[in-house]
């Protein structure tokens, strides 16, 4: 056995590391087995997904725009799209949406008729995916996808009896406590409206116009439903609290330093897990492009890596600032079942837009909210596939994160520095490593439906004896697009101490969220979390 290095040798090695160029230093760290693993789960999805959502049937809906020209997946015979206004394919037999079965990784083509470029979406309380807006003939369109068992033939339905009051391109959707959906903003649409439509149609929101600058930067606003029922709406470098019932702003937050954060200068945002008495909501906004990069079409202007964190429910909120290890634009923030946040995808220079990003950021980061400033970010094992403009990231029921898309070109282009990407990957956080398998819980019993405030039991089995309390956390299924997961939410339930139930099984007594402000009605992934290791989720239906 080799002798351990002397303290002087170790000190010399540490000093040598500090003198290394920064990129090479992280190459060394990568070789030192940083946490997390990557797998390509689909070699060819047929389309590059700019919009992605996971359904309660453990399938994944992937969407691109319809006027992209030929993809690599054909529609079923007799289901071609005819559009005399399409400048590329007036008779289009290529799929622009597909359904991925997570059990088999099979891809089934779906038929979408109107253009979904830079559109928005949200799941309704019954599990139907509502999809709104887009470009051209999709500007005011409302569509629905009612998920089915993977063996079924469910497909997109374009609604003809209802339309958006205003055209919505680059807007954001958020489900509300009563199960309706608010649609916020969009290009040249400084308003909000609702589905089902409310009397009066669109409601003016001057804040969005005030947040618009020469390069827009108020598009795809970050919208979070706070547990007090108000909406936290962030655009450019500022935010407001909006009362959607009275249609008025109830609070203006201080500006966030560091420049614009929304499209086309996009960073990302997440609301941290709700727990305790559910009275506190903390919002995090990270990354973004330097102002002017979009106007100048600069591909090499470094992105910034600053993050702001604010307690949005305080009467006197202020931003707490910290820096990520990397500057990053177009990154996705994914709420993990544990309450940590995964930051993944994106680039280190340029801005959002076709041919406008460079220097892929291949290193994911783990944001640990409970750590002090300066210790919250952990660098994870890097991937090898650049995920640039039009990439997505979604939490899966088994705890992995599905990574799809990347097409920084107007059409599909496979011979390029950053080619159109049809591969789908899964990133496995460290909690899925084999050495933690013995403490990973398995949900043996859980109700399919729970009501607000209802007490119910969850039965789990664990190989090794449970030490401490097993959490039960509800994760929503958001609509991921353009570096923001619309409707993303994690709610930690109130639980009693874990009680042995014999044969390696344990009973967890839980209480459902108190109301739709804390958790809007709908289907959630229910995870049991033991010592930071989540189970495979079971879908439950939260109803009033």
> Can you read off the two tokens belonging to residue 336?
């993990």
Token pair of 267, please?
A: 């960073």
Q: Phi and psi for 31 in degrees, rounded to 5?
A: -70, -15
Residue 32: per-residue pLDDT: 54
Q: How far apart are alpha carbons 304 and 289 in whole angstroms?
A: 6
Task: State residue 274's pLDDT score.
Answer: 98
Q: According to the model, what pLDDT value does residue 236 have? A: 98
Q: What's the farthest any 2 CA atoms get from each other in the chain? A: 79
Question: What is the pLDDT, as a whole number, of residue 33?
Answer: 86
Please state the separation of Cα 350 from the chain's center in Å. Answer: 22
Query: Is pTM beyond 0.75 here?
Result: yes
pLDDT of residue 103: 97
- What CA–CA distance (Å, rounded) separates 101 from 321? 41
Q: How far is it, in rounded angstroms, from Cα 265 to Cα 25? A: 28
CB 380 within 8 A of CB 334: no
Q: How crowded is residue 1: how many other Cβ atoms within 10 Å of its Cβ?
A: 3
Question: Which domains are delineated in the chain?
Answer: 37-432 (2.130.10.80)
**Cβ contacts of residue 436 below 8 Å, gap of 6+?**
430, 533
pLDDT number for residue 15 = 40
Can you tell me whether residue 155 is helix, strand or coil? Answer: coil
Which residue in this structure is represented by tokens 């029922």?
Answer: 229
> By CB neighbour count within 10 A (0-12 exposed, 13-18 middle, 19+ buried), where does 541 fall?
middle
Residues 417, 358, 349, CA angle at the centre, nearest 5°? 175
CB 267 within 8 A of CB 291: no
Q: Cα–chain-centroid distance for residue 475?
A: 11
pLDDT at 45: 98
Mention every residue, 6+ apart, whose C-beta is less than 8 A from residue 341.
270, 272, 284, 333, 334, 335, 366, 367, 369
Per-residue pLDDT of the chain (544 residues; tens, 9 = 90+): 333 333 333 333 334 334 444 444 544 544 458 999 999 999 999 999 999 999 999 999 999 999 999 999 999 999 999 999 898 999 999 999 999 999 999 999 999 999 999 999 999 999 999 999 999 999 999 999 999 999 999 999 999 999 999 999 999 999 999 999 999 999 999 999 999 999 999 999 999 999 999 999 999 999 999 999 999 999 999 999 999 999 999 999 999 999 999 999 999 999 999 999 999 999 999 999 999 999 999 999 999 999 999 999 999 999 999 999 999 999 999 999 999 999 999 999 999 999 999 999 999 999 999 999 999 999 999 999 999 999 999 999 999 999 999 999 999 999 999 999 999 999 999 999 999 999 999 999 999 999 999 999 999 999 999 999 999 999 999 999 999 999 999 999 999 999 999 999 999 999 999 999 999 999 999 999 999 999 999 999 999 9
Cβ atoms of residues 440 and 535 within 8 Å: yes
- Sequence-distant (≥ 6) Cβ neighbours of residue 259 within 8 angstroms: 237, 265, 288, 289, 290, 291, 304
Question: Would strands 538-543 and 449-451 be described as parallel, antiparallel, or unpaired?
Answer: parallel
What's the rounded Cα separation, in Å, for the pair 110 and 158? Answer: 12
- Residue matched to tokens 């995916």: 129
Contact between 312 and 252 (Cβ < 8 Å): no
CA dist., res. 495 & res. 533, Å (int): 17
CA distance 354 to 340: 31
Residue 314 CB contacts under 8 Å (≥ 6 apart), including other chains: none
């Amino acid at each position: 056995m080799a002798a351990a290095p002397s303290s002087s040798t170790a000190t010399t090695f540490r000093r040598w590391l500090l003198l290394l160029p920064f990129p090479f230093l992280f190459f060394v760290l990568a070789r030192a087995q940083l946490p997390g693993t990557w797998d390509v789960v689909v070699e060819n999805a047929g389309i590059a997904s700019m919009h992605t959502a996971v359904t309660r049937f453990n399938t994944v809906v992937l969407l691109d725009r319809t006027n992209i020209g030929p993809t690599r997946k054909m529609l079923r015979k007799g289901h071609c799209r005819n559009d005399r206004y399409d400048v590329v394919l007036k008779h289009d037999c290529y799929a622009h949406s597909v359904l991925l079965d997570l059990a088999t990784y099979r891809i089934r083509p779906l038929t979408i008729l109107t253009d979904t470029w830079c559109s928005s979406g949200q799941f309704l309380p019954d599990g139907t995916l509502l999809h709104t807006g887009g470009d051209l003939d999709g500007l005011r369109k409302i569509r629905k996808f009612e998920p089915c068992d993977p063996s079924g033939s469910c497909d997109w339905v374009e609604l003809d009896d209802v339309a958006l009051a205003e055209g919505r391109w680059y807007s954001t959707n958020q489900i509300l406590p009563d199960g309706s959906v608010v649609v916020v903003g969009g290009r040249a649409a400084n308003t909000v409206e609702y589905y089902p439509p409310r009397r009066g149609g669109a409601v003016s929101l001057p804040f969005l116009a005030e947040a618009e600058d020469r390069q827009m930067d108020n598009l795809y606003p970050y919208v979070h439903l706070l547990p007090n029922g108000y909406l936290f709406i962030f655009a450019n470098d500022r935010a407001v609290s909006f009362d959607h019932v009275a249609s008025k702003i109830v609070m203006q937050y201080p500006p966030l330093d560091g420049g614009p954060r929304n499209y086309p200068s996009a960073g990302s945002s997440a609301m941290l897990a709700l727990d305790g008495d559910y009275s506190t909501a903390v919002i995090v906004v990270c990354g973004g492009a330097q102002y002017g990069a979009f106007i100048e079409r600069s591909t090499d202007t470094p992105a910034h890596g600053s993050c702001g964190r604010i307690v949005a429910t305080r009467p006197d909120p202020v931003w707490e600032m910290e820096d990520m290890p990397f500057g990053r634009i177009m990154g996705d923030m994914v709420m993990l079942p544990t309450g940590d946040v995964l930051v993944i995808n994106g680039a280190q220079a340029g801005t959002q837009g076709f041919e406008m990003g460079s220097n892929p950021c291949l290193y994911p980061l783990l944001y640990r909210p409970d750590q002090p400033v300066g210790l919250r970010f952990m660098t994870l094992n890097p991937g090898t596939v650049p995920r640039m403009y039009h990439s997505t990231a979604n939490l899966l029921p088994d705890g992995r994160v599905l990574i799809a898309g990347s097409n920084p070109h107007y059409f599909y282009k496979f011979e390029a520095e950053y080619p159109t990407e049809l591969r789908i990957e899964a990133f496995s956080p460290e909690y899925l490593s084999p050495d933690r398998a013995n403490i990973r819980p398995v949900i043996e019993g859980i109700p399919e439906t729970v009501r607000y405030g209802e007490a119910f039991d969850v039965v789990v089995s664990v190989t090794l004896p449970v030490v401490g309390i097993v959490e039960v956390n509800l994760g929503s299924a958001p609509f991921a697009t353009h570096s923001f997961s619309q409707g993303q939410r994690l709610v930690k339930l109130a639980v009693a101490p874990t009680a042995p139930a014999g044969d390696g099984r344990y009973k967890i007594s839980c209480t459902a969220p108190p109301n739709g402000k804390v958790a809007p009605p709908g289907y959630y992934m229910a995870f049991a979390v033991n010592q930071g290791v989540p189970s495979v989720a079971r879908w439950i239906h939260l109803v009033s």
